[in-house]
Amino acid sequence: MASFHIATALSATLLLSLLVLGRSDATLPPPATPVPPSTACNGTTDPTFCRSVLPTNGTSNLYTYGRFSVAKSLANANKFLGLVNRYLSGGRLAAGAVAALQDCQLLSGLNIDFLSAAGATLNRTSSTLLDPQAEDVQTLLSAILTNQQTCADGLQAAASAWSVRNGLAVPMSNSTKLYSVSLSLFTRAWVRPSTKKPRTATPKPPRHGGRGRGLFDATDDEMVRRMALDGAAAAVSTFGAVTVDQSGAGNFTTVSDAVAAAPTNLDGTKGYFVIHVTAGVYAENVVVPKNKKYVMMVGDGIGQTVITGNRSVVDGWTTFNSATFAVLGQGFVAVNMTFRNTAGPAKHQAVALRCGADLSTFYQCSFEAYQDTLYTHSLRQFYRACDVYGTVDYVFGNAAVVFQDCTLYNRLPMQGQSNTVTAQGRTDPNQNTGTTIQGCAIVAAPDLAANTAFATTNYLGRPWKLYSRTVIMQSVVGGLIDPAGWMPWDGDYALSTLYYAEYNNSGAGADTSRRVTWPGYHVLNSTADAGNFTVGNMVLGDFWLPQTGVPFTSGLN
């Protein structure tokens, strides 16, 4: 079987240092105590590189080293973007190379934003940070590494980008190392073991009211429609509303035009800008850019309001830019909609939705494609009562993301392919990323269930990157899942560094007695261990989900 994602582009030296990483926070000096650079670098992901980065004259404390590293990372991000821009302005590049570089351009710009925000927070304090501030900064620094890796993967996948890839290889490797060191130093200085958020399984009641129920009741679609049509009737705060209607009866006839009309850089305190997308099939590729924050998009129901496209890697798009719908604007919420990519299984990677929006939420939505359906790219995300259809790696990416009360449908792939539900992309042990599937169902879609022409093997996931992390808990696992449960990526790659776990699942495919015996695979028996991966802990949902009106369960069911 072919590998459908490019393995991590980290250098061999960095990979080795990550594999043998043996961090011991218990031996760290107090962060305000001056120490030499060698001591500050001990236990980081690459101590040798760290020592080459930090100033060698005198001693400083961990806070100073951390700020220095983030400032150096920001300077590096600006320099790397300059290199990318020079390649793009130089001309005479093949289309594939240009597409990959344009992704790098966008991602590098995001890195500059994230590093600027992280640096501003760190410059305001010389003490440990408490949540949500600590989680905010760790999320940004984690996303910077993800963005850099996505850039590298895109260049690696584009055959025509070989000259650009060679030219950027060293700067890209050094950027990855530097960003990793910054994340390491941040966690050592500002997120001390005694101040990390509690990782308990005690269910914390959602701040909006009843456990598992939100301001949108799962059975009350009329409430959702009224919210779109009349902001005054909404149970959430709104800051303007428009309607998209293909007949011309609304404010706009396309979703893209409505997004363009949204106010820029809302901070959420004034509420959401609501876009009601009436029933219809909207054949357009939509981008919600980074400056369109706190947009709430409400459709008329799954299968009724449909946004559809057919971009794919086979047709020349990067995986990143094949998405029918892509969202970057913080605080995005989608309700009662379908996102679809119709490229089909023969076109390989073809994304229905890509999300790199922090604090984003999807409720009663469906995502329909085959390979790489739902790209949970980065930052913090939550999916509730959604349907996801796909074949190979159809939930993939490196966000901190929780799926609750969702149904994951394995479709019929091309002959000879195996289905893998997840391909999680964590590349660094200090990233606070991972995929949680809680209270969901993993089943066969009708086309797979009805097929008798050839047998399809189905797995819960495979490790796309070195520190891949996925937890499936309190879910119904259908009998289609192979008894081994999980599929290797390539030989023994990542099998000792990944973290895959199952907890209290049911169904014909939930039996763990014949599961893989990889060092990184776990069957959890402790509610405290499972509690690490709940909404309250994995994405700190108690701090931001109440304002969305979407129901959620903070702890274990």
CA distance 407 to 371: 17
> In this predicted structure, what is the pLDDT of residue 235?
63
CA distance 33 to 435: 37
pLDDT confidence band for 454 (50 / 70 / 90): confident
At 304, list the tokens. Answer: 């009724």
Picking from 173, 135, 205, the residue whose alpha carbon sits closest to that of residue 49 is: 173
For 270-298, how does the pLDDT look when each residue is reduced to its tens digit (9 = 90+)? 999 999 999 999 999 999 999 999 999 99
pLDDT confidence band for 430 (50 / 70 / 90): very high
Cβ–Cβ under 8 Å, residues 365 and 335 = yes
The percent of residues above 70 in pLDDT, for the chain, comes to 87
Cβ–Cβ under 8 Å, residues 328 and 351 = no
> In this predicted structure, what is the pLDDT of residue 280?
98
Helix 12-19, helix 162-189: angle, nearest 10: 30
User: Which of 6-20, 155-169, 387-401: highest mean pLDDT?
Assistant: 387-401
The percent of residues above 90 in pLDDT, for the chain, comes to 79
pLDDT confidence band for 17 (50 / 70 / 90): very low
Specify the 3-state DSSP secondary structure of 339. Answer: strand
For 61-74, how does the pLDDT look when each residue is reduced to its tens digit (9 = 90+)? 999 999 999 999 99
User: Which of 22-26, 207-211, 466-470: highest mean pLDDT?
Assistant: 466-470
**pTM, to two decimals:** 0.91
Average pLDDT over residues 437-449: 97
Q: Which domains does the chain have, with CATH numbers?
A: 37-190 (1.20.140.40), 238-548 (2.160.20.10)
Average pLDDT, the chain: 88
- Neighbouring residues of 272: CB distance < 8 A, sequence distance ≥ 6: 236, 237, 238, 239, 266, 294, 295, 296, 331, 333
At 370, list the tokens. Answer: 């085959």
DSSP tag of 421: E
> In this predicted structure, what is the pLDDT of residue 218?
38
Residue 13, pLDDT > 70, answer: no
Q: Is 393 a catalytic residue?
A: yes
Neighbours of 517 (CB within 10 A): 8
Exactly one of 103, 393, 428, 542 is catalytic; name it: 393
> In this predicted structure, what is the pLDDT of residue 544?
96
For 241-272, how does the pLDDT look when each residue is reduced to its tens digit (9 = 90+)? 999 999 999 999 999 999 999 999 999 999 99
Residue 83, pLDDT > 80, answer: yes
pLDDT confidence band for 125 (50 / 70 / 90): confident
Residue 20, pLDDT > 90, answer: no
What HEC string does 426-478 produce? CCCCCCCCEEEEECCEEEECHHHHHCCCCCCCEEEECCCCCCCEEEEECCEEC
Residue 222, pLDDT > 60, answer: no
> In this predicted structure, what is the pLDDT of residue 56?
86
> In this predicted structure, what is the pLDDT of residue 339?
98
CA distance 43 to 17: 10
pLDDT confidence band for 425 (50 / 70 / 90): very high
pLDDT confidence band for 353 (50 / 70 / 90): very high
Pairwise pLDDT comparison (327 vs 2), residue with the higher score: 327
Buried/exposed code over 167-202 (b: 16+ C-beta within 10 A; e: otherwise): ebeeebbbbbbbbbbbbbbbbbbbbbeeebbeeebe
Residue 16, pLDDT > 80, answer: no
